[in-house]
A and B are shown apart, each in its own frame.
Chain A
Amino acid sequence: MKIEHIKFTNYRQYKDAEIKFAYRSKDKNFNVIQGTNGAGKTNLLNGITWCLYGEEIHPTEKNLGYDIVNDITINEAKFNKPCRVQVEIKMRDKNDTIYIISREAFFIKIKKGKSSIINCLEMRDSQDGFTKLLVSIEKIIDGQTKITNYDYPETFIRRVIPQSIKQYFFFDGEQLRSFLKEASSEKVKNAIFDISQLTLIEQVIKHLTAARRDFEKVVKKDIPETGPIVEQLDQSRRLQKEYKEKLNKIIHELKEARRNKEHLEGKIKDVPSSTIQALQKERKNIESNQATLTDRLNEIKSEKNEYLKELATYVLSYNAIQKTQDLILEKRKRKEIPPPITPDFIKNLLKKGECICGTNIKGRNNEQRNRIEGLLKEVKLLPAFSAAVLELERHLNNCSDKLKLFTLKLDEYNKRIKGLKEQLEKNDNRLEEIGTRLKKSNIEQVRLWERDIEEYNRSIEKSLEEKAELNEKLRIEKKREAELKNEHIRAIKKEKKYENHLNFLEFCQDALKELEDIKRDIMKEIRLRVEGNTEKQYLELTWKKEKQKVVIDEEYNISIKDKFDKEIIATLSAGEKLILILSFMAALNNVSGFDVPIIIDTLFGRLDKEMRENIANKLPNYLRDRQVILLALGTEYTPEVKKIMSKAVGKEYRIDFQEEKNGSKANLIEVNL
């Protein structure tokens, strides 16, 4: 969908304003609207969301407590005469079908003593009592324009651009920056959940869970012996809920502690002392390295365990392997395997009608022929058996070969594990040394910060232990629940007359499991697609030549790793972080499947010149297939930025804000390109 045109009537400073957008060309897909602070850029975005959803997405300080009706209109309005506020958006889809979306509201000025109050009028057929949304389609049929109205306009909006995901299409630079600052895994997970549109599945899960719970009560009443099992099931579910709540609390505390620790480390890094800065930098590198080493250690331990399991099979069954190999070798020596005569050879002789010794074996009553036919039946069995034996030999030889390297490989694993543990210990010791040196620093503030960091480290360690413990308890409890459910079903199965009960319960359990699996699979797929897309966009936009990787892990933590697999997100500059989050937003858009314009308010704010120009250079390429509307300050959209982006900009406007005697208004003036 592309926005062709927006019309404002008495909406905030836009008393009577219209704006036409570039939408046809893929190369000239950018629309820039410039304005000073307070001119009305954000209210353009607010107008769009008000039209679509009946609410303003970005209330600004100036707007708080003000009604949306333009103040000139209200001041000039007669008492008790309604004033209409309307925002109309004309959109066009891929098939050139035009949709006109409009929302209106009516306000009335009422005299109250010496002053007046403004009320919003209630409306019939209104979606929320006060505003009315209309969606109509304009089609050309036989040369004539035909307009039809949608009976359920909210359904259309939900289908085209659901409210739950609007923040990934309409956003401002400030929100982008704060998203990254607080890019908690919870936020990332919610973003992916919203894009995955799983609300419907969640609702079904909720209803099914309630139905199952009610049904279990019915079963408990009809089959009293299932009572204790149901009680245990309830207890297990309560415990799981309790563990999950505690886990969320600990995860939140962990994040807080890490953030606070990072903040203090940042302060230490900025202390004007080269020694202290060097120590802090070293500490940061070691900590990052520790995480990588720990992952590597766990990986190798896991590999070793798998290897042990595999080789245990061969070591413990070696007598059987060796015996079988010896038997097969014997058969080979006796030339029983592979068989010297194959069925095909005998069939050919019979077809030819002549034995290899030259004897005639034609004719049905030929005695020699009958003997050879009897031999054919016997030989047919042998190849199948031989093939099975040869196949077995192949596998067992493979086992023997692997056995030869057993101690060598095991020693190698142990050596690698030992090496990693030593490196980890060495790093831990060095971290402790650095901590001690900083605690003894001659700068008092550094000593205090270091003591706090130590406290946070202790708290983080404790939280990690508690988290691991709770995860384990949750895992055990989930397994217990699964076993109890099976026990429950077995108890009901005992009585044939409760077959219907059983069918319903089994249906609930199977359906819930399927739905949870579907939800998990969809989230995983979307997460991986968003990860891949984010990485692609990010690497295209950044100017660094070194290989980097964007990771969104299973707990929805977003990170960047360098070619050594080291976490480097904390070392990114403000511009690089902005690019990362912009890439993430673009990835969400791409993966969502919704074809909606992207509107960004004040993207370049607070970036330095170089960063701004670099993003301006790459942005058109990376949002090539989208209609983009940029709302920018004059200080962001500098002549240099304008020149760089010129090949992608289809339309440019300037907001002309005027203060008049009775209020203010803004017009949109098109700039010649």
Chain B
Amino acid sequence: MKKRDRVFIKEDHREKYYNPLRKEDFFKDHAEVFMMALLYGFINNAKKEIIGKKDGIARIAYFDEEKKHHISIIKAIAIYTENGDLSVLNNEEKIYSIAEKYANGGITLLKEAVLGRWGEDYCKKLEAMLREKYEDLDIKT
């Protein structure tokens, strides 16, 4: 089986969501937008199948694995979605397919959060949201 080299989105999402989001200085590249969309889809349980033509938005090589562990997070999300089945690690196609569905479902939520209200600073909103979620996590320091 051919090794996966990129992740896909719905064809019209590039113009509708990815390009406008890239205009904000917050996201360095499309891989970062994809990652954030996938996370928004994951926490809101918004998994959506891509129907119609697809567009290869970012190469997998552009995800930052060494410092930010993007690929490992994508794998962990796939394992979680498959009810804790570690054997999904043998199925690269499935791992990225799950990621693409979450990104497909999360992109509208991300756009609303970042570009929704004029003048509101996304970084402040993000910080407030993360602090709130962090409180709920049982993380021992």
Contacts and interface: CB of A to CB of B under 8 A. Distances in A.
Contacts of A476: 23
Contacts of B77: 317, 320
Contacts of A316: 39-40, 42-43, 130, 133
Given A308-B130, A396-B72, A324 B80 contact: yes
B61 interface: no
Contact of B123 (A308, A319, A385): A308
Contact of B73 (A304, A317, A323, A403): A317
Nearest to B39: A316
Contacts of B26: 305, 309
B117 interface: no
A309 B24 CA distance: 14
A628 to B, nearest CB: 49
Contacts of B15: 483
Contacts of B69: 313-314, 395-396, 398-399
A483 B18 CA distance: 12
A147 interface: no
Contacts of B79: 320, 323-324, 327
Nearest to B40: A316
Interface in B83-130: 84, 86, 89-90, 123, 126-127, 130
B89 A312 contact: no
A94 B43 CA distance: 71
A405 B141 CA distance: 7
A121 interface: no
A160 interface: no
A343 to B, nearest CB: 18
A317 B44 CA distance: 11
Contact of B131 (A310, A398, A407): A407
B133 A313 contact: no
B137 interface: yes
A321 B134 contact: no
A408 B70 CA distance: 23
A403 B139 contact: yes
Nearest to B139: A403
Interface string B61-86: 00001011111110111011000101
Given A323-B84, A324-B80, A389 B127 contact: no
Contacts of B84: 323, 327
A165 B11 CA distance: 52
A312 B76 contact: no
Nearest to B126: A308
A313 B137 contact: no
Interface in A295-315: 304-305, 308-315
19 contacts: A308-B130, A309-B26, A310-B67, A313-B68, A314-B69, A315-B133, A317-B73, A320-B73, A323-B80, A324-B76, A331-B86, A385-B89, A395-B69, A395-B71, A396-B72, A403-B137, A404-B141, A476-B23, A479-B23
Interface of B: 15, 19, 23, 26, 32, 35-36, 39-40, 42-43, 65, 67-73, 75-77, 79-80, 84, 86, 89-90, 123, 126-127, 130-131, 133-134, 137, 139-141
Given A331-B86, A399-B72, A406-B139, 19 more contacts: A312-B130, A313-B73, A314-B69, A316-B43, A317-B76, A319-B80, A320-B76, A324-B75, A324-B76, A327-B84, A328-B86, A389-B86, A392-B72, A392-B76, A396-B72, A398-B69, A399-B69, A410-B131, A476-B23
